[in-house]
C-alpha cells in the first residue's frame, strides 16, 4: 500500500522536470544541512529523492552547483520569512519587541536555515561568495529595523547613537546562537535547551535586553 502510494507520488513527478528538480533540492537541503558539503553524499540524495545520480547531474552538473542551489533555496526562505514580519504598531517599543521576537522565531522554527548558514560560515562563505546572486542576500530586516529605530528616536524614547548594523547583529545573535549551539550548550550546561521553558525564557530575555539597551 505504502509502496503503491510512493510509486504514485513518483509517477506524478515524472514528466514534470521542475517538480523533480525542486524535489531534488529539498532532499539536498536535508542532506547538506545534516552533514555539510563534504559530509553529504550524492548517493544519499539520489536515493532519498527517489531519483538517480544521473538525473541529478543532468540538472545540476556537479555537487557544488547542487549545493549552491540548495543554499540559494535556503536563503530565499530566510528572506521570505523576514518579509512576513509585520511591524505596524504606533509604539516603537512594541514594534521592536515584535521584531526581536520574530527574528528569534525564524531561527527557532527553521533549524535548517540555521544549519545551512553555519555550514557556510565555517567554510568561510566560499559558496556564498562566489555564487548566490547579490539581491538574494539583501535582507529586508535591516530596513525595518532602521525604520523602527528612527521612529523611536523621533519619539524621544530611544537613545541616540545607535549603530544599526551592530544592533542588527546583536539581535540576530541572541536568537541564532541559542539554536546554532544548542547541542554543545546542552551538554555544557547540562540542561535540555530544546525545552519550551528555556526557549521562552531566552526569547523574553532577548527582548528585554534589546529594549533596555534602546531605552533613553
Site residues for DNA per CB under 7 A: 10, 13-17, 20, 40-43, 51-55, 57-58, 61-64
142 lies in the site for a copy of itself, by CB under 8 A: yes
> Considering only CA atoms, which of 81, 72, 105, 120 is closest in space to residue 179?
105
Q: Is 35 a residue that touches a copy of itself (CB under 8 A)?
A: yes
Q: Which does 23 bind (CB under 5 to 8 A by kind): DNA, a copy of itself, none?
A: none
The interface partner of residue 215, options being a copy of itself, DNA, none and the CB cut-off 5 to 8 Å by kind, is a copy of itself
Please say whether the beta carbons of 69 and 25 come within 8 A.
yes
Find which of DNA, a copy of itself, none residue 79 binds, CB within 5 to 8 Å per kind: none
| Binding site partner of 82, from a copy of itself, DNA, none, Cβ cut-off 5-8 A by kind | none
End-to-end, the C-alpha distance of the chain in Å comes to 65
- Is 124 a binding residue for a copy of itself by CB under 8 A? The answer is yes
Select 9 or 189, whichever has its Cβ closest to a copy of itself: 189
- Considering CB distances under 5 to 8 angstroms, the limit depending on partner class, which of a copy of itself, DNA, none binds residue 120? a copy of itself
The rounded radius of gyration (Å) of the Cα atoms in the chain is 21
Which residue ranges make up the site for a copy of itself (CB under 8 A)?
A: 35-39, 115, 117-125, 128-129, 137-139, 142, 163, 165-170, 172-174, 176-178, 180-189, 191, 198, 201-202, 205-206, 208-210, 212-213, 215
Amino acid at each position: 500500500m505504502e509502496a503503491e502510494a510512493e510509486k504514485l507520488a513518483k509517477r506524478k513527478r515524472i514528466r514534470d522536470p521542475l517538480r523533480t528538480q525542486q524535489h531534488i533540492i529539498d532532499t539536498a537541503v536535508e542532506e547538506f544541512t545534516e552533514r555539510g558539503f563534504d559530509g553529504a553524499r550524492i548517493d544519499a540524495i539520489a536515493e532519498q529523492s527517489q531519483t538517480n545520480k544521473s538525473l541529478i547531474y543532468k540538472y545540476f552538473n556537479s555537487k557544488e552547483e547542487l549545493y549552491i542551489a540548495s543554499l540559494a533555496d535556503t536563503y530565499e526562505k530566510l528572506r521570505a520569512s523576514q518579509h512576513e514580519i509585520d511591524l505596524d504598531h504606533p509604539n516603537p517599543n512594541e514594534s521592536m519587541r515584535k521584531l526581536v521576537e520574530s527574528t528569534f522565531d525564524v531561527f527557532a522554527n527553521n533549524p535548517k536555515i540555521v544549519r545551512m548558514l553555519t555550514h557556510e560560515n565555517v567554510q568561510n562563505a566560499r559558496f556564498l561568495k562566489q555564487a548566490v546572486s547579490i539581491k538574494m542576500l539583501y535582507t529586508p530586516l535591516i530596513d525595518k529595523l532602521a525604520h523602527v529605530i528612527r521612529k523611536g528616536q523621533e519619539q524621544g524614547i530611544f537613545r541616540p547613537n545607535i549603530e544599526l548594523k551592530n544592533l542588527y547583529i546583536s539581535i540576530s545573535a541572541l536568537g541564532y546562537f541559542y539554536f546554532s549551539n544548542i547541542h554543545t550548550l546542552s551538554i555544557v550546561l547540562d540542561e535540555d535547551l530544546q525545552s519550551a521553558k528555556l526557549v521562552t525564557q531566552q526569547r523574553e530575555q532577548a527582548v528585554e535586553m534589546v529594549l533596555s539597551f534602546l531605552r533613553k
